[in-house]
Amino acid sequence: MKAVRLHAYHETPKLDDVPEPKAAGPWDVLVEVGAAGLCRTDLHIIEGQWEPIQHPKLPYILGHENAGWVREVGSAVTNVQPGDTVIMHPLVTCGLCAACREGKDSHCENATFPGLNVDGGMAEYLLTNARAVVKLDPSLHPKDIAALADAGLTAYHAVRKAVPRLTPGTHVVVIGSGGLGHIGIQSLVALTTAHITVVDRSEQALQLAKELGANQTVVAGDDDKVLQQVLDITGGGAHVVLDFVAEQGMERLGPRLVRNRGDYYVIGYGGSLDLQTIDIISREINVIGNLVGTYRDLVELMTLTAEEKISLHTTVYPLDAYADAINDLDQGRLVGRGILVP
């Protein structure tokens, strides 16, 4: 089968011919990939940022946002059968450790992470397990929902955590209306009545934010001007800031947009936070990290998608155009999500 594999860091991946995986274990599920999302995490993987954390053995297949159709199942699998349309939770988990028992799939002690430390879904087939697959309404096509497996799940997870703080009359600022942010905006509209302000450098992304339900938008550029605009809109700062960028200077701006006793959610990554500890304690602000989401989060997200309350803005590429897709993402030419279709 054809597969996009990373052979060395800081080099463009290659399209290789590799053997097809097989469902050999009792809990195995073999999925014919209908679509694989392209994420900024893939850029960070190519840059080697994940090597100290995941230690993948090169070469391996990229792709951690995957959806498709079940082709084979192991003898113990009962939740899906060949022919079912499925989306995959990013992690393949054990179900037995303390984190799994608590429903905290993202922190499974024995997880593998297809596309980060084992072969992923930028290929014709992907081997996963029964715990990772969510059966979908057959009306949903993989190319329309694949990126919800990680980008959507991550954005939804952060919003879901912030919901108790976003009561009527509160303000939330969303930094970035790109691949994650545009899903976060829809999640906020679906789950809260908070006033939504979106900050982004791209006029096109801000227009998309307005179409999705943002109340106001602010063009990023001069940090002091952005800060003053946000303070004026929110009456002193946001109760919650959701930073879907957290690099390229946005991680310095984000905490400044939070009002006293507010929450700064870090969802994007790549930068470094440098906060004075006296500011943290005197303002009583919270910095909250977010890692993917739970299986339940993914089920809820797909329910909202089936109800047409959340949708992806995508650009579709054939699998063999993966290098063009990567370059478009890296150069900021993508609005929404890039999708690779085998």
Note the pLDDT tens digit of each residue in 209-218. Answer: 999 999 999 9
Taking the C-alpha atoms of residue 120 and residue 36, their distance in angstroms, rounded to an integer, is 9
Q: How do residues 147-181 score in pLDDT, each as one tens digit? A: 899 889 999 999 999 999 999 999 999 999 988 89
Domain extent, residue 221, equals 155-289
Give the number of domains in the chain. Answer: 2
- Give the per-residue pLDDT at 109: 94
Q: How do residues 293-321 score in pLDDT, each as one tens digit? A: 999 999 999 999 989 999 888 899 999 99
Q: Are residues 319 and 237 in the same domain?
A: no
Distances, alpha carbon 45 to alpha carbons 109, 114, 134, 309, in Å: 21, 12, 26, 31
Q: Are residues 222 and 127 in the same domain?
A: no
Above 80 in pLDDT, residue 104?
yes
Q: Are residues 266 and 297 in the same domain?
A: no
Instruction: Supply the CATH number for residue 198's domain.
Output: 3.40.50.720
For 6, the 3-state DSSP assignment is: strand
Q: Are residues 324 and 269 in the same domain?
A: no
Its pTM stands at 0.87
Q: How do residues 251-294 score in pLDDT, each as one tens digit? A: 999 999 999 999 999 999 888 999 999 999 999 999 999 999 99
| CA quadruple 271, 53, 153, 233: dihedral, nearest 10 | -20
Above 80 in pLDDT, residue 95?
yes
Q: Are residues 311 and 225 in the same domain?
A: no
Q: Are residues 163 and 68 in the same domain?
A: no
Query: Helix axis angle, 181-191 relative to 203-212, nearest 10°?
Result: 20
Cβ proximity of 314 and 35 under 8 Å: no
